[in-house]
A = this chain, B = another copy of it.
């Protein structure tokens, strides 16, 4: 099924990607898929059957149920299923083996700045930033979190004054990520309080959340509040070459990243923060100690291994870069966006934000942005609740009001499986 769909895409985009290579690769994936899933054996790099390994390999988790032509397609969350195809093709190189006696302690490195950061994870993250060039990491403290969501809360905690009785205002330009208000407010903290759209903020002191490329609409964002006492948190979950041209190595006070949207390993629940100020970083560590006494070492070890393979691929085999992670994902995203823009253009009732393109310092060429979410607007008369309209057509999306704007726009994940994306495209094409 993976092969069928990608081949279909390849034919449509024949000018941009090599059809022969693509079909061959897809056939190889298909063979591997069948071998793995139906015969329950994996082959090691030397081609010999690795039966020892299978006995210790974990049971696959169930994940989401598969999509069929008639089923509901859930594109509400940004589950990064798109990446599985890539990792299916990498063999055992990024497989992790953790002996039972290893990393049992709470402590990763008592001599480091942050006792719960695994040194190997930190090393690979800094290496990745040097490779991609999306952020300055030299001179920054690196912290790890259970997803960047936890680090977001750690940053709110660190940036809010504890003495004053008034909660710090937290704002972001609409449309803003739908989780910002709920995550900021769910504990009814006296330290900070969601205060809505940054454009309507009239106070003199706040924390501004800057998500760029922006979730949900893919816009390239800068802080909009100019007051000197405003503090910023830059959410760079999507500032990776597959989604957007890398236009600069960012160097803001607090920058958040996540493995989920970089390599597709959402289930590892691993994010990291680059933090300039030592005192702020120490307060964030304090939050992490109180909230969860550190972060899963197993996830850190796994992520370190995965990021190492990503970096190794580019640094040791630059000649084959079109097959490496960011190039693979960029191609997949471009294919999907191309198909979506085509059906939207012919629909007559939908629209998307304008296509952005720019010189990418990583790709070393002009590239078009392929945001992780489609911010789809409906112009059809009588459709006031677009999310509800799509739900009637068995497409689950997230409506504009959750992002601080109107109901005639929805956010649609572009990162789901080929199957789900195909069904989505087919249904959108049928709506006039």
Contacts and interface: CB of A to CB of B under 8 A. Distances in A.
Interface stretch (A185-193, A348-356, A377-385): A185-193
A79 interface: yes
A245 B62 CA distance: 37
Interface stretch (A49-57, A194-202, A210-218, A420-428): A49-57
A293 B147 contact: yes
Contacts of A94: 100
A299 B296 contact: yes
Given A104-B266, A187-B157, A267-B297, A61 B118 contact: yes
Given A63-B107, A109-B62, A291-B150, A92 B96 contact: no
A107 B64 CA distance: 6
Counting every copy of the chain, the complex holds 2
Contact of A58 (B63, B65, B102): B102
A411 interface: no
B104 A81 contact: yes
Interface string A93-108: 1111111111111111
A373 B297 CA distance: 25
Interface residues of A, number: 89
Contacts of A150: 291-292
A120 interface: yes
A61 B99 contact: no
B104 A60 contact: no
Interface of A: 42, 44, 50, 52-53, 56-65, 77, 79-81, 83-84, 87-88, 90, 92-111, 118-120, 146-147, 149-150, 153, 157, 162, 179, 182-183, 186-191, 260, 264-270, 286-287, 290-299, 301-302, 304-306, 309
A92 to B, nearest CB: 7
A370 B153 CA distance: 38
Contact of A97 (B95, B183, B296, B304): B95
A290 B185 CA distance: 10
A104 B92 contact: no
A147 B61 contact: no
B298 A267 contact: yes
B103 A267 contact: yes
B304 A58 contact: yes
A292 B120 contact: no
